[in-house]
């Protein structure tokens, strides 16, 4: 197996899942956002390099049966600030992975996409057949990469691709220190330290917070399931909760009061988002097994 972005939060959790089932794992990462510490002590091969270099990607793909393509330049706010780099990494980088995998006879590429491709929706929960309407440059780039994946599975014989769309993933090895850090690690570290948390908007926006082990399981199943090639699957908890409720739940687990400061909504953010996961259940045989509270407890143990 090759895992691009294997030094990142979700990627390093996926690497562990693959190793646990006995796979031979290689990682491609430039560690611009990933962390080498996430891979310490693991019996894997690490190739350091850029997704934008076809030569480097091709070398990493060589000899692999399946490619899990998680490498990306994430974050909606970052894409608003720098749409050109977001596009180059997330679109051109994905095209390099697909071309290298095609040229090396890889059996299947599993591409990790994002709920941001849906954009603001009145129809909730969102299903995979809804017309995408991304509002951020990040969402646009992820959608373009998705379409390349679907196209390659259609035009190149025996070349398989599967797209999995993630929703607000959280869990161990998710850094709270980046300026683009996700909400749960930021909330946990602030509440644990007795500091106020910053809530963008009124906090009543609903999100599909999904514990990382659920995502790892769904992603691994996407590499093996029959009838999945050329298709897109939501991988999420399918259990919407408000940002305010998440903050309260974290305070409850920590046994700490929650003090909030409110800021204007961030440009590019979606108001409400959660997934219908019927297709993943039916085709991948997948079911989320770790709920929000249990996931928060497991996450907090690693951060505090």
Is 138 part of the annotated catalytic residue set? Answer: yes
- For residue 35, give the 3-state DSSP assignment: coil
Q: How far apart are CA 86 and CA 77, in angstroms?
A: 11
Cβ atoms of 175 and 242 within 8 Å: the answer is no
Cβ atoms of 54 and 36 within 8 Å: the answer is no
Cβ atoms of 169 and 215 within 8 Å: the answer is yes
The phi-psi region of residue 75 (left if phi > 0; otherwise alpha if psi is between -120 and 50; otherwise beta) is: left
- Per-residue b/e over 32-68, b at no fewer than 16 CB within 10 Å? ebbbeebbeeeebebbebbbeebebbbebbeebebbb
The alpha carbon torsion through 16, 22, 27, 32 (nearest 10 deg) reads 0
Exactly one of 118, 138, 148, 166 is catalytic; name it. Answer: 138
What's the gap between Cα 298 and its chain centre?
19
Residues with catalytic function: 138
């Amino acid at each position: 197996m090759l895992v691009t972005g294997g030094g990142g939060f979700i990627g390093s959790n996926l690497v562990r899942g693959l190793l646990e089932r006995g796979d031979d794992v290689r990682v491609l990462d430039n560690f611009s956002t990933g962390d080498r510490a996430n891979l310490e002590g693991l019996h894997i091969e690490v190739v350091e390099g850029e997704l934008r270099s076809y030569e480097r990607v091709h070398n990493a793909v060589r000899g692999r049966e399946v490619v899990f393509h998680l490498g990306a330049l994430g974050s909606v706010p970052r894409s608003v600030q720098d749409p050109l780099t977001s596009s180059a990494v997330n679109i051109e980088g994905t095209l390099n992975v697909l071309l290298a995998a095609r040229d090396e006879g890889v059996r299947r590429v599993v591409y990790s996409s994002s709920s941001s491709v849906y954009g603001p929706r009145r129809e909730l929960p969102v299903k995979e057949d809804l017309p995408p309407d991304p509002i951020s440059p990040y969402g646009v780039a992820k959608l373009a990469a998705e379409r390349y994946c679907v196209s390659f599975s259609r035009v190149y014989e025996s070349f398989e691709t599967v797209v999995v769309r993630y929703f607000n993933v959280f869990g161990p090895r998710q850094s709270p220190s980046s300026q683009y850090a996700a909400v749960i690690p930021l909330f946990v570290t602030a509440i644990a330290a007795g500091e106020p948390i910053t809530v963008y908007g009124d906090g009543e926006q609903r999100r599909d917070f999904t514990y990382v082990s659920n995502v790892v399981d769904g992603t691994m199943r996407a590499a093996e399931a029959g009838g999945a090639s050329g298709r897109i699957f939501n991988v999420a908890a399918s259990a919407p909760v408000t940002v305010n409720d998440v903050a309260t739940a974290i305070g409850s687990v920590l046994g700490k009061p929650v003090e909030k400061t409110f800021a204007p909504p961030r440009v590019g953010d979606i108001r409400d988002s959660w997934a219908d996961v019927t297709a993943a259940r039916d085709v991948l045989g997948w079911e989320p097994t770790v709920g929000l509270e249990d996931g928060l407890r497991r996450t907090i143990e690693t951060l505090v």
